[in-house]
Amino acid sequence: MRPSGRNLSDMRPISIETGVLRHAEGSCLISCGDTRVLCSATIEDKAPPFLKGSGQGWVTAEYGMLPRATNSRNRREAAAGRQSGRTQEIQRLIGRALRAGVDRRALGERQIVIDCDVIQADGGTRCASITGGWVALRLAVNRLLKAGIITSDPIMDHVAAVSCGIYAGQAVLDLDYAEDSEAGTDGNFIMTGAGRLIEVQMSAEGATFTRSEMNQLLDLAEAGVAELVRAQNEAISCAS
């Protein structure tokens, strides 16, 4: 039995509320169970210097966690004077994942910055950031299209992410913190709406895993991402 009482293949309840930030070109608050992440998209009218003259745009991300997002207070990284290695790794992952679903030439020489701020953490914050970040990105691009600033939609497909792992000897979908902290194997699966893989992060913690178990986790991830894509579509539809 999972600590939450969920079945092995059950996701946590998902909600995506759009338009939560007045000034952002796109924004949402995504909740995956008790994990909540505020995602916003900012359009900048020029691309990074390394893309100058290339005709291509860029999508990048920044990630942070509020001091009381967890059960004890984390010191603000700004107060420490530097970002942790974990924060840098996660925000690079978010940017890399979202760029995989974008035709950067159709975007033109501009940059969209996705900010993901974790206001409450209960496992899967990077996955929620990617899933919610895509919604913020979609809304920002819709604004560019509506204004006629770009004429071709640069978003090629949905991008969403979900965690899976081996908990108490069973393959389970969408780990919360209680499961993640005890899982023998855990992984993050980032996929497109068409089911194509963008990135897989998997590791064993004190116990190895088999090829068969990896396939079970991938099957669970495909089903989970399909559910997340439906939630993304519903959020975008409500925002229109």
Residues of each annotated binding site for phosphate: 86, 124-126
Which residues in 163-185 are b (16+ Cβ under 10 Å) and which e?
Answer: bbbbbeeebbbbbbbebbeebbb
171 to 17, 85, 183, 209: CA distances (angstroms): 30, 29, 10, 11
**Which residues line the annotated binding site?**
86, 124-126
Greatest alpha-carbon span in the chain: 57
DSSP the chain: --TT---TTPPPPEEEEE--SSSSSEEEEEEETTEEEEEEEEEESS--GGGTTSS--EEEEEEEE-TTSSSSPPPPHHHHTS--HHHHHHHHHHHHHHHTTB-HHHH-S-EEEEEEEEEE-SS-HHHHHHHHHHHHHHHHHHHHHHTTS-SS--B-S-EEEEEEEEETTEEEES--HHHHTT-SEEEEEEEETTS-EEEEEEEESSS---HHHHHHHHHHHHHHHHHHHHHHHHHHHHH-
